[in-house]
Structure 1
Amino acid sequence: MRKQLIPPRYIALKKTTFLIAGCLLLSIMFLVNFSCSVDDTQTVVNFTTLTMQDEFDTSGAPNSSIWGYDIGNGPNGDGWGNQELQYYTDRPENVTINNGILVLTARKEDFQGSSYTSARLLTKDKFSQTYGRFEARIRVPYGQGIWPAFWMLGVQDSPNEIWPFIGEIDIMEMRGQDPTKLIGSLHGPGYSAGEAISKEYILPNDRLDTGFHVYGIEWGPDYVNHYIDDVLYNQITPDDLPEGAEWVFDNDFYILINMAVGGTFVGSPNAETVFPQTMLVDYVRVYEYNGLN
């Protein structure tokens, strides 16, 4: 059975009944100041304890204790498996912090055999976590062939464990040519790439590229909830997977932030795509899954 969609931050798992007769009697005696209590403590899961945050409040390069870089056009030179057109660098021309904002910049330029450059940051080997709330406040770019993403990959238990068996959680991705549509997805064995478990969300009466929005997930045992600005638009559980498919979201995942150019998901830039393109990140915050209390 599919879990009920519930408000952000707090996930009610158990609710006991009121002692109706006692409450009625006591409410007469203490009408103003008394609030009836339940006969057992309500059990909730919350995400209030910060385990990692980067407010990007220093200038220059991102904090090296949190962020590393993917460099190049993929380990096999195939555009990171998606036929992307950019070459990722760690140059300040492609990634820097200005006025409290992380700025990723995609440029049209000839560089190391590629026609575009951009940046891809990740917390691999620096920060990872199982379960919790992961969120970032981001302003995305606009333009045909531009592909910004805020996402996560599972930590490999061995060098032989590869994608999609390690799992992937896409907190936010969008096609630059479709500025009202947000996509949240899970990838795993038997449900990856074009067969991922996904849901699209159309931002009502607004565009994603005209301002900052908070993109997040709340992740616990057997569910991943996707949010934009604390609006819950997607919930995925093991019941949503193809028959016989494995749920691989019960181990540490690390964070990635990148802006790709081109690729099978968005297509190539066209004559109307303006460069440079920028993806702005105000903060990244991660909260602990506090379990039941």
Structure 2
Amino acid sequence: MSLGFAALVAIVSFGCTQPNDTTLAQKPAKYEFAAQPSWQDEFDYAGKPDPKKWSYDLGDHGWGNNELQNYTDQIENAKVENGHLVIEAIKGKSGKADYSSARLVSKGKGDFTYGKFEIRAKLPKGRGTWPAIWMLATGNSYGNKGWPDNGEIDIMEHVGFDQNRVHGNIHTKAFNHAIKTNKGDNVVVETVSEEFHIYSCEWTPESVKILLDGKDYFTFNKEAGYEWTQWPFDKPFHLILNMAVGGNWGGQKGVDDSIFPQKMEVDYVRVYPLVEKK
């Protein structure tokens, strides 16, 4: 073998042993969240919620859960005062319903793909209340173009008949409560109606994590082989803040009319964007 040929073989062999792009791509990505929020409402004003950040879902049609309230855009049901957003459920005729409340949505004004979501809130108390802090897909990208195909992330749900417990869940076409396969967990906390707590979600391309006061109690990971039916969480979602009355879950033990009015108070909503560490 000539020296020139041997040198050429050595060069080719050395080149073949170098890490290729595929090998490098297999290194797990690491994520963190920005130190400052990219979208927030501190509720440091008074009156109706900021129309640049919030819209209203309206109606008294039961919302797919046989709920008993009419959602309105009236200031009696959603107002900002003393540095807090107040969503108030009131007993009284409203539309075809016997209760009124509010459901605020950031759709079209705050839509997010991944990030850390922090909401500091104090919850209502009493049998029949059903407050929630949650997220739905802003568009219809998958399946039948509706729920649950495009996904749902429940950062906080609480039902008044089970006072000392809060819940975090996800819903997808494959995993949802309608077919008894939903993924979620709950945590006991005895001061949800007496004190403010921070309800959080940390959403990355690899997982959805639900936290209470900075401690995670439920994580849903994107497993190998998952398709959109298991993991539709790669499109923009928006925030929803609401308080229902009664319904399939909130009304399981009936509604105590003596408790009304009831309030969910929100101190702030902050969204921190995802930053990928190289």
TM over 0.5: yes
Distance of 2:226 and 2:248 partners within structure 1: 24
Partner of 1:125: 108
Deviates more, 1:194-203 or 1:119-128: 194-203
Q: How many residues align?
A: 248
Distance of 1:184 and 1:231 partners within structure 2: 12
The answer to whether structure 1 residue 87 and structure 2 residue 70 are counterparts is yes
Distance of 2:209 and 2:255 partners within structure 1: 35
Partner of 1:3: none
Give the alignment partner of residue 253 of structure 1, picking from 215, 233, 237: 237
* TM-score (ref. length: structure 2): 0.83
The answer to whether structure 1 residue 63 and structure 2 residue 50 are counterparts is yes
Q: Look up the equivalent residue of 1:275 and give its one-letter code.
A: F
Partner of 2:268: 283
Give the alignment partner of residue 193 of structure 1, picking from 177, 189, 195: 177
Q: Deviations over 1:139-165 (max 9, x none)?
A: 000111100000000121469611111
Q: 1:270: how far off?
A: 3.3
Partner of 2:37: 50
Give the alignment partner of residue 230 of structure 1, picking from 197, 214, 220: 214
SS in 2 for 1:50: coil
Q: 1:210: how far off?
A: 1.1
Q: Which runs of 4+ in 1 moved over 6 A?
A: 240-244
Q: Deviations over 1:271-291 (max 9, x none)?
A: 464110011000000000011
Q: 1:242: how far off?
A: 9.3
Q: Please provide the CA RMSD for this pair.
A: 2.4
The answer to whether structure 1 residue 221 and structure 2 residue 221 are counterparts is no
SS in 2 for 1:208: coil
Q: Which runs of 5+ in 1 are unaligned?
A: 1-13, 16-41
Q: 1:115: how far off?
A: 0.3
Residues 114 and 222 of structure 1, relative CA distance in 2, 3 Å threshold: same
Q: 1:243: how far off?
A: 10
Distance of 1:241 and 1:187 partners within structure 2: 18
Q: 1:177: how far off?
A: 1.9
Q: 1:254: how far off?
A: 0.3
Q: 1:234: how far off?
A: 1.1
Partner of 1:175: 159
SS in 2 for 1:178: coil
* TM-score (ref. length: structure 1): 0.79
Q: Which runs of 5+ in 2 are unaligned?
A: 1-26
Residues 127 and 46 of structure 1, relative CA distance in 2, 3 Å threshold: closer
Identity within the alignment, %? 40
Q: Look up the equivalent residue of 2:51 and give its one-letter code.
A: S
Q: Which has the larger radius of gyration?
A: 2
